Amino acid sequence: MGCAKGHGVIEALLSNPSLATEYSDEQWDQAIRLGRSANLLARLCQLLADKDLLKEVPQKAYHHLVSASLQAQKQRTQVQWEVKLLAKELHNIGVQPILLKGGAYIYANKPAGQGRTLTDIDVLVRKEELLKVERQLKTVGWYSEKSDDYDQHYYREWTHEIPPLIHYKRQTVLDIHHNIFPVLRFRVDIERLIDQVCFDADGVGTLHLYDMIIHSATHLFFEGEFENGLRDLSDMDLLFRELHPDDWQKLKHRAQELQLARPLFYALRYCRHCLSSPIPDDIWAASDTGAPNALQLRVADILFTRVLIPHHSLVKKPGHRLAKYMLYWRGHLLKMPLTVLGPHLLRKLMRSISVGRD
């Protein structure tokens, strides 16, 4: 099982940017196509710039990389400004926002934030703060497009967030979470995460590095959405590279404490195989890694190696569509029991039929 061997050019560059000196024009053409498909062009540009390798890139590919980087830099400035505004508004009601995923990487100036793009800003607050946070934001120009009563009920009762909020003028999208995973199947003790949060002088919080990794792994391997799967895997690869030798066991123990050892195991496994992440061998030797049994692992390898790639015809493997659907339904089953999932899916089906008739 080796991702990099099966579909090579973009993963190889992400793990070893020095290969830029060896790529042919055809390989660069593929890398640009795949990097754009995976939302990784700006990150690739940053990795090459860090190694002073942009001068080795053919001119046509260079222009694509720099263009993507400029767009990411513009968004980076917008995210940092938006977070400052958000913190100021929530400070008025005594709430300190905690950034998650891409917004956190950018704001905290993490390597995973360099060249990172996003479609929304994810924020964590305590569940008891949700109502006043939502009310406050709506008074300063944020609104929800989810006006249907069922959609509102679905988000508020069955997920770990309220419906997305959009600013009427800036069109920024904000996802307000009260947990890192839907609480129907199992409940992550959010207070354990908040206890380790670091807040800056503006009252903006970011998760501890261990928890950033565990949250990213949980989101990728339990949610069932893989449109940005390789980008999310690259996020974790860069976060892993921040760890010191004595951090690895602490990270594993933290995942066990949060009862999220399984998604961390998958993150370690596929980062190592797909992006050559420098993960110590002894992490695999212990019996408490969160690994599934041999049959489950074989199935996981078949499925995940077909979705943790750019979603582009150049690299899609046979069975890609089936793997994507199977993992999508697996994600739903992890998030809610059949007694809730069945009626929910039936309602979505009836709604799609109704829209089709209209």
Tokens describing residue 287: 């019996």
Q: Report the alpha-carbon angle 244-76-233, nearest 5.
A: 45
Which of 91, 113, 111, 95 minimizes the C-alpha distance to 103? 113
In a domain, 354, yes or no: no
Answer whether residue 109 is part of any domain: yes
Contact criterion met (CB below 8 Å) for 99 and 206: yes
Tell the residue number behind the tokens 């904000």, with chain if given: 174
- In a 13 Å sphere around the CA of 185, the CA atoms on its Cβ side amount to 18
> CA separation (Å) from 114 to 10, 47, 97, 105?
17, 9, 22, 8
Task: Please check whether residue 356 lies inside any domain of the structure.
Answer: no
- The CATH number of the domain where 129 resides is what? 3.30.460.40
Name the token pair of 77.
């400035």
341: Cα separation from own chain's centroid: 24
CA distance 282 to 276: 16
Is the residue at 210 inside a domain? Answer: yes
Q: What is the 3-state secondary structure (H, E, C) of 113-152?
A: HCCCCCCCEEEECCHHHHHHHHHHHHHCCEEECCCCHHHH
The structure's pTM equals 0.91
Q: Is residue 358 part of a domain?
A: no
Helix (H, G, I), strand (E, B) or coil at 174: strand
355 falls within a domain = no
CA distance linking residue 217 with residue 215, whole number of Å: 5
If one counts the domains in the chain, the total is 1
Is 162 within the bounds of a domain? yes
For residue 206, give the H/E element and its range: strand 205-206
Query: pLDDT tens track of the chain, all 358 residues?
Result: 545 444 489 999 999 999 999 999 999 999 999 999 999 999 999 999 999 999 999 999 999 999 999 999 999 999 999 999 999 999 999 999 999 999 999 999 999 999 999 999 999 999 999 999 999 999 999 998 866 676 666 677 767 888 899 999 999 999 999 999 876 666 788 999 999 999 999 999 999 999 999 999 999 999 888 999 999 999 999 999 999 999 999 999 999 999 999 999 999 999 999 999 999 988 866 556 788 999 999 999 999 999 999 999 999 889 999 999 999 889 888 877 677 667 766 766 666 565 455 5
AA identity, residue 317: K
Determine the structural domain holding residue 14 and report its residue range: 3-348
The residue with tokens 């996981």 is 300
User: Does any domain span residue 19?
Assistant: yes
